[in-house]
Amino acid sequence: MSDTGNRPLDVLESSVGTSVTVLLKDGEKYEGELVGYDQHMNLVVEDEKDTTIIRGDNVVSIRP
């Protein structure tokens, strides 16, 4: 039985180009379009005004 599609990077890949809410360890939230990520789960999120790079170590959850 394969778990392809259930790994964190697979989930991120399928979320690129969609709106997400990212919750950080300090309770801060970022909302916007997920435009990129890397193997360390660092994220690039864009909203109407800004592009934000979020270090993967600080991420608690990512929701559609």
CATH code of the domain containing 57: 2.30.30.100
At residue 27 the predicted structure's pLDDT band, cuts being 50, 70 and 90, is: very high
Query: In 2-62, which residue ranges form alpha helices assigned H by DSSP?
Result: 8-15
Residue 2 lies in a domain: no
pLDDT of residue 1: 42
Looking at the structure of the chain, the number of domains it has is: 1
C-beta separation of 21 from 62 below 8 A: yes
Instruction: Print the domain residue range for 28.
Output: 8-63
Residue 3 lies in a domain: no
Q: What is the pTM of this model?
A: 0.84
Q: What is the mean pLDDT of residues 26-43?
A: 96
Token pair, residue 47, equals 């909203």
